[in-house]
Amino acid sequence: MNTDEQIARIRSLANDSSILRKAVAAELGPQIVDFAAVIAGAIGAGGKILIGGNGGSAADACHMAAEMVVRLTKARNRQALPAIALGMDPAVLTAASNDLGFQNAMARQVEAIGNKGDMLLVISTSGASDNLVKAVRLGRKRGLLTAGLLGGDGGRLATLVERALIIPHGSVQRIQEEHIFVIHVIVELIESDLFG
């Protein structure tokens, strides 16, 4: 592929992303507002947000937790919001995976720190991750609110969580790009709701 072809490919990918971004804003706007309101409500009632994912979605979970604990907008000086990204402690993750199996690693963390009134938000481009499925099932038994930021057709997780926000696309990369957009919008709405 020569330089001109590479530039044409970049433009094509940017166009695909732009079309999807506009569709997400137009079609999923009410769901995004609902997600933000439920998270803000859980925090306002004294709960915390547990966020889990695998691979790039684990990085997105960590990113969201950081935006909530620190802040999204520098102009808004506000208190920290209680958010924890699951799977970020390598000692816990590897011990649980070794002793209990990787499919139980997230559920073990939900068991340890999840309480009734907290929210478990899982991020998955496929909606099919066994470790997230098990975490959601346990979270529901323990009285946690459950939600999924998902992709494709939502997979098994779409039927297990109480709220599913699904980016209906076949490309993992495009789904991940929209997940970050949605995360930023959700945190912005939460900050606005809780702090004006």
Report pTM: 0.95
Tokens 């592929």 found at: 1
Q: Does residue 42 lie within any of the structural domains?
A: yes
Q: Does residue 15 lie within any of the structural domains?
A: no
Q: Does residue 174 lie within any of the structural domains?
A: yes
| Confidence band of 193 (pLDDT split at 50, 70, 90) | confident
pLDDT digits (tens, 9 = 90+) for 39-81: 999 999 999 999 999 999 999 999 999 999 999 988 888 999 9
- SS percent in the chain: helix, strand, coil, step 5: 60, 15, 25
Which whole number is the average pLDDT over 99-126?
97
- Give the C-alpha separation, 100 to 78, whole Å: 39
Q: Does residue 69 lie within any of the structural domains?
A: yes
The domain containing residue 123 runs over which residues?
29-195
**Overall domain count for the chain:** 1
Strand partners, 84: 50
CATH number at residue 124: 3.40.50.10490
Start-to-end Cα distance in the chain: 51
Q: In this structure, how many other beta carbons lie within 10 angstroms of the beta carbon of residue 111?
A: 14
In this structure, the dihedral spanned by the alpha carbons of residues 23, 26, 30 and 32, taken in order and rounded to 10 degrees, is 50
Q: Does residue 188 lie within any of the structural domains?
A: yes
In this structure, the dihedral spanned by the alpha carbons of residues 10, 16, 19 and 25, taken in order and rounded to 10 degrees, is -100
| E-strand stretches of the chain | 49-53, 83-85, 119-124, 145-151, 163-167
Using CA of residue 85, residue 159, residue 191, residue 117, what is the dihedral sign? negative
Q: Does residue 60 lie within any of the structural domains?
A: yes
| Confidence band of 105 (pLDDT split at 50, 70, 90) | very high
Q: Does residue 11 lie within any of the structural domains?
A: no
Asked if 48 contacts 14 with a C-beta cutoff of 8 angstroms, the reply is: no
